[in-house]
């Protein structure tokens, strides 16, 4: 049962790769989708970086000072 599933997954991947390699429309659709996903990931990472840096600031907008050991 597991072998048939794995075989189906592999055949599906090969079939999809052949379809994309031979079809201009499919290839352009894949490239467009990849570009959209990368753009969304970049936006999400920018938001997380801003939230991370915003969390490090104090309530009055100043960054906390590092404590030095004496």
CB-count burial class (<10 Å; 0-12, 13-18, 19+) for 18: exposed
Q: What is the pLDDT of residue 20?
A: 81
The CA distance from 14 to 2, in Å, is: 18
Boundaries of every domain in the chain = 17-52
Q: Are 64 and 56 in contact (CB under 8 A)?
A: yes
Q: What is the pLDDT of residue 52?
A: 87
Q: Is 0.75 topped by the overall pTM?
A: no
Q: Residues with Cβ < 8 Å from 57, sequence gap 6 or more? A: 63, 64
Q: What is the pLDDT of residue 17?
A: 87
Q: What is the pLDDT of residue 32?
A: 94
């Amino acid at each position: 049962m597991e072998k048939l599933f794995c075989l189906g997954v592999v055949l599906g991947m090969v079939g999809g790769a052949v379809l994309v390699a031979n079809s201009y429309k499919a290839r352009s659709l894949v490239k467009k989708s990849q570009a959209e996903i990368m753009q969304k990931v970049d936006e999400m990472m920018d938001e997380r970086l801003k939230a991370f840096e915003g969390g490090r600031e104090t309530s009055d907008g100043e960054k906390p000072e590092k404590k030095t050991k004496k």
